Amino acid sequence: MAKNVFLASTDQAADKTALAKAFINSCPCQGGKPGYFQTLTDNPDNPKFAELASLLGKTPRDLYGLTIAEAVDLLNSGQKAVLIEEILGRYARLASQFEAVIIEGGDPNPLAAFELQGLGAELAANLAAPVLLLSGGDLALAASGVRVFKDRQAEILGLVLVDGANAAEAAKVEVLKGVDIQSVKASELAQLPAQWCPKIQAYETKVVTPKRFEYNLIERAKANKKKIVLPEGDDDRVLLAADDILRRQFADIVILGDVAAIKAKAAELGLKHLDKAELVDIKTASFRQELVDQFYELRKAKGVTPEKADAQLHDRNWFATMMVKAKKADGMVSGAAGTTADTIRPALSIIKTKPGCSIASSVFLMCMKDKVLVFGDCAINTNPTPQQLAEIAVISAQTGQAFGVDPKVAMLSYSTGTSGAGPDVDAIHEATKLAQESAAQHFPGLPLDGPMQFDAALDPKTAKGKMPNSKVAGQATVLVFPSLNAGNIGYKAVQRTSGAVAVGPIIQGLNAPVNDLSRGCTVPDIINTVAITAVQAQ
């Protein structure tokens, strides 16, 4: 993504548009000027868009996300996620054409209500853009603005006080401590880029919001579109998710079920895009016999007869898994109305594990407010042996890295380091040693340590006291639980108490992607799992 900065202001006394133009004319970029983008505008016919479009070789429409009226309509209809998605998409199209982008927050007067809701701050966080906040000099107003952005996980690049209090006075305000503050006169705004452009270029964003993660995931899926089969065509959630996936065009979809019933339900739900899905009745599919014959050949050594093969493929999960095996689909997502075993058993029998993997395992990608953590195994292996835990640790690190997580693996226990003893702790010591040996061969340089408690894994202060010499403690991103009991409780506890978005379970170690859903899954859960599956299939 392009280097960027989000210019916001607390009041009209701070002219962020003038500053944006100064950045465009002053910031050095290879091959031309930085791009310009405004998130929300009250006036799409504002002459500045025509002026900047001419300067940058774009159309005025390229330079803003949505109008205030469009945003109001989306918010009032409960579609805030669509609002953010639309702005992210328009920004991404522009950002792909520039080395850097100057992002201007919404117009201050008509946007006052939105700013109270923190929408501007949410957009900055989701755009992964550090914020340079301008304020007319009122310290209370400046502090309030910084707090709004920080509370919504936006990163503050700096605060510029225009014709107001000096930086030394501002630095004494609690919420402003540690913020890079500068005082200037309004006439000096044009001089700011010389000081701030190097800081923008050097800045590395640390925050990954759930919406940012989802957006990046879907963009990756779009880049090499795959076909995913959904066996549970009688579930409204599955149909709603499929409709949205087809609207966003990041995967091709096959839905299994009674074709007439699916079409009738789509009409009842008002779905506008489901006609783009491939609907398959497993009883009458044109390729049914082909799958039955292949299944018989695969399983005849296990005593399966042609008759038994035909009977087995009247089960929708077995049929869908055979579609993946026969390359009539690239991956499968199921489980909205069934158990994990219903989804995984056919995959283990037909698709099997990859060479070098003795087991299939699972992880959840836990999208916290500002980062993504990997939790495993929380869905499949009940009481893994030390050898299996070691395998889960390394493959979970590989999965995390594949989805943009910098892996640092903590082998969890009720004891940290050498503070405790007993069979359970001894097992984690052994698993840690085996995992480190495996990582040396399959993932050189992987930081991996244990045993450690959950707090020691994530909290730097606790880690400093309990495991001061560890390269993982206090900064772990991949957490390996000792058992399914611990893992399942752990991910649900974090999900329900922190508001984290849990994406998964993601099944790892199979020759082709098959992923499970919780029976309590939501439509967004299904959408994210399909996106994960599509990326795995790439």
How many helices and strands, by DSSP H and E, does the chain display?
A: 22, 18
SS3 162: strand
Mean pLDDT of the residues in the chain: 87
* Inter-CA distances, 213 with 235, 244, 502, Å: 27, 18, 12
In this structure, the answer to whether residues 37 and 68 fall within a common structural domain is: yes
pLDDT tens figures, 296-337: 888 888 888 988 989 999 999 999 999 999 999 999 999 988
Q: Are both 226 and 138 inside the same structural domain?
A: no
Q: By residue range, what is the domain housing residue 307? A: 208-349
pLDDT in tens, 67-86: 888 888 888 888 888 888 89
Report the chain's C-alpha Rg in angstroms.
26
Q: Write down the pLDDT at residue 112.
A: 47
pTM: 0.77
Q: Could you read off the pLDDT of 170-214 as tens digits, one per residue? A: 777 787 888 888 887 878 778 888 888 888 888 888 878 888 888
Looking at the structure, tell me whether residues 219 and 112 fall in a common domain: no
Last residue of a domain, one of 328, 349, 370: 349
Q: Identify whether residues 397 and 332 lie together within a single domain.
A: no
Encode pLDDT of 105-149 as tens digits.
876 544 445 454 578 888 988 888 898 888 876 787 788 888 888
Residues 310, 394 within the same domain: no
The mean per-residue pLDDT over the stretch 360-379 comes to: 91
In a domain, 500, yes or no: yes
Q: Is the pLDDT of residue 158 over 90?
A: no
Which H helix or E strand runs over 37?
strand 35-41
Orientation angle between helical segments 340-350 and 288-299, nearest 10 degrees: 70
**Residues 379, 64: Cα–Cα separation, whole Å:** 43
Judge contact between 273 and 249, C-beta under 8 A.
no
Q: 244 with 332, same domain? A: yes
Same domain, 202 and 146: yes
Assign residue 456 the CATH number of its domain: 3.40.50.10750
Q: Would you say residue 38 lies in a domain?
A: yes
Same domain for 300 and 218: yes
The average pLDDT across 468-495 equals 93
| 3-class secondary structure, 514 | strand
Alpha carbons 130 and 132: distance in angstroms, whole number: 7
Considering the domain boundaries, does residue 529 fall inside one? no
Whether residues 14 and 121 share a domain: the answer is yes
In a domain, 285, yes or no: yes
485 located within any domain? yes
Is 297 in the same domain as 402? Answer: no
- Count up the domains in the chain and report the number: 3
How many Cα atoms occupy the beta-carbon half-sphere of 407 within 13 Å? 28
Does residue 176 form part of some domain?
A: yes
Same domain for 143 and 242, yes or no, is no
Does the pLDDT at position 472 exceed 50? yes
* Percent of the chain's residues with pLDDT above 90: 42
CA distances to 418, 526, 531, 536 from 317, rounded to whole Å, are 46, 16, 19, 19
Q: What pLDDT was estimated at residue 108?
A: 55
Look up the CATH number of the domain holding residue 177: 3.40.50.300
Half-sphere exposure of 472 (CA within 13 A, CB side): 28
DSSP β-bridge partners for residue 373: 366
| pLDDT per residue as tens digits for the range 253-270 | 999 999 999 999 999 999
Whether residue 171 is contained in a domain is answered as yes
- pLDDT tier at 28, thresholds 50, 70, 90: low
| Boundary (domain end) residue, out of 306, 333, 349 | 349
Determine the pLDDT at residue 397.
Answer: 95
| Torsion sign over Cα 484, 476, 444, 204 | positive
The Cα angle at residue 355 between residues 224 and 292, in degrees rounded to 5? 70
264 & 179 share domain: no
Whether 223 is covered by a domain: the verdict is yes
Write down which residue in 291, 323, 349 finishes a domain.
Answer: 349
